[in-house]
Amino acid sequence: MMKQLGVLIIFLVSLISYSQGQEFTAKLSPLEIKIGEQATLELECKFSAAEKQIMLPALKDTISKFIEVVDVSKIDTTFDEDDVTSKYFTQKITITSWDSGLHVIPPMQAIVWTDTLYSEPLLLSVNTVQLAEEQDIKDIKGIMEVPFSLWDWILAHRIEIGSIVGILLLILIAYLLYRKYANKEDDKQEIVIPKEDADLIANRKLKELEAKKVWQKGEVKEFHSQLSFIVREYIENRFEINALEQTTDEISMLLIAHPEIDKTDLQQLIQMLHLADMAKFAKQQPIGAENEQALKTAYLFIENTKVVPENKESETLNQQEENA
């Protein structure tokens, strides 16, 4: 009875006349499915390329009571290869059914300008899944075990792993900051303080220079270079002046501000440093007497400007008073 009714509907719709040059068709593939399987309903509308207002069926979740819409594709536009004045709209609709039987897909409607076109109705045969009568009902299958990978373990413990990584990063940052600022504090606190008094270091080096007899061997420039370095190093350690990087005139200006330096001693020191500069840079060759006097001047300046402890200074004053 259902098949006869479907044939009758197809026959009646086939009597509908279409406008000349305009066609609207529907194709179903496959015509027969099992419950839950899917079929494709392809709609195609042919019309004049000059037409601008075209409307294909607006489908929702179902086509009929027994047929559901699974997916609707976008409309594909093409031109007729033999006639460029003709244009095609194509759309594919995926359908399914969960009821067995012969189900009618009613005619689809398309509007081309003022004309209404109809497709032919179609029949979708939905069959049930056949089971062998003698076959026993099987129990529900057990849970399938999926191999557990390392990535699965990481995903399962991502919060704990993230927390541990975050803590390690914080510890690393704190360590780097500590190292950075600890080194700065060490640099600030690092002050070059000689283990011995400045005068003891200078006198020892002067004696070593004197014992080498450098200028007596003709190395006058080397003698004055070493002598100038020893005196400048003493000034730097004794008065906290960067004498090794200063010129002789700059050292003179800085030492004037120290009241404990006698002007005569300062004048003789500056003359000795100037002589050393002439020997080092102007290739001047001081004579033996000048070299001996430069060494004596260095000894005398160190002796007269060395730091004297308070107890020794008081003893010296007492001795001077007794002698007086």
One-character DSSP codes across 250-288 = HHHHHHHT-TTS-HHHHHHHHHHHHHHHHHHHS-----H
Q: What is the pLDDT of residue 152?
A: 81
Is pTM beyond 0.95 here? no
- Which tokens is 15 given? 């009597």
- Which tokens is 136 given? 């026993």
169/18 Cα distance (integer angstroms): 75
Q: In this structure, are residues 302 and 230 in contact, taking their beta carbons and an 8 Å threshold? A: no
Amino acid at 231: V
The three-state secondary structure class of 178 is helix
| pLDDT (average), residues 27-40 | 93
DSSP state of 62: B
Structure confidence by residue, pLDDT tens digits, 177-192? 888 887 665 555 455 5
55/47 Cα distance (integer angstroms): 11
Q: In this structure, are residues 160 and 65 in contact, taking their beta carbons and an 8 Å threshold? A: no
Q: Where are the domains of the chain?
A: 2-127, 198-308
Q: In this structure, are residues 112 and 19 in contact, taking their beta carbons and an 8 Å threshold? A: yes
User: Given pLDDT bands bounded at 50, 70 and 90, which one contains residue 310?
Assistant: low
- Name the phi and psi angles at 96, rounded to 5: -155, 170
Q: What is the pLDDT of residue 12?
A: 46
The answer on pLDDT for 167 being more than 90 is: yes
301/304 Cα distance (integer angstroms): 5
User: Given pLDDT bands bounded at 50, 70 and 90, which one contains residue 49?
Assistant: confident
Q: In this structure, are residues 43 and 21 in contact, taking their beta carbons and an 8 Å threshold? A: no
User: Given pLDDT bands bounded at 50, 70 and 90, which one contains residue 19?
Assistant: very low
The third-level CATH classification (topology) of the domain covering 2-127 is: Immunoglobulin-like (2.60.40)
Order the strands of the 101-105 sheet from edge to edge.
32-34, 122-127, 101-105
User: Given pLDDT bands bounded at 50, 70 and 90, which one contains residue 93?
Assistant: very high
Q: Which residues pair with 124 in a beta bridge?
A: 103
Q: In this structure, are residues 62 and 96 in contact, taking their beta carbons and an 8 Å threshold? A: no
Q: Which residues pair with 102 in a beta bridge?
A: 125
What percent of the residues of the chain are helix, what percent strand, and what percent coil, each to the nearest 5? 45, 20, 35
DSSP state of 187: H
30-39, 125-134, 175-184: the lowest-pLDDT one:
125-134
The answer on pLDDT for 33 being more than 90 is: yes
Structure confidence by residue, pLDDT tens digits, 239-254? 888 888 889 999 889 8
